[in-house]
Amino acid sequence: EDKVVQSPLSLVVHEGDTVTLNCSYEVTNFRSLLWYKQEKKAPTFLFMLTSSGIEKKSGRLSSILDKKELSSILNITATQTGDSAIYLCAFGGTGNQFYFGTGTSLTVIP
């Protein structure tokens, strides 16, 4: 059965800290790994990774995929209170179906 596991489930840090969120997957028809940020409402897209070892960056956020280890990490440097959210990872299978992990809840304290 295809599944996505995220760790940790929740994390509390202080502003300025660096955090690393983990996502591991077991899938049969892997096409891509996606990261989303969910604040109070809809998830918003952060990154899509399809090739192993290539880092995607957007400001203080970056992500890398390790296809050999079937995992991905999301790094956030110099965290701010606005980074507080649930971070979801999902793998994309055939036909654009996405399978989501349970998410990591990040709280950044001033």
Partner 1 sequence: NAGVTQTPKFQVLKTGQSMTLQCAQDMNHEYMSWYRQDPGMGLRLIHYSVGAGITDQGEVPNGYNVSRSTTEDFPLRLLSAAPSQTSVYFCASSYLRVFMNTEAFFGQGTRLTVV
Q: Which residues bind partner 1 (CB under 8 A)?
A: 4, 31-32, 34, 41-45, 48, 50, 88, 90, 92, 95-103
Q: Which residue, 17 or 32, is less far from partner 1 as judged by CB?
A: 32
Give the residue carrying structure tokens 């090739």. 51
Nearest to 84 by CA among 11, 8, 7, 6: 11
Q: Which is nearer to partner 1, 7 or 77 (CB)?
A: 7
- Minimum distance, C-beta of residue 14 to partner 1, in the bound complex (Å): 26
Cα(92)–Cα(77) distance, integer angstroms? 26
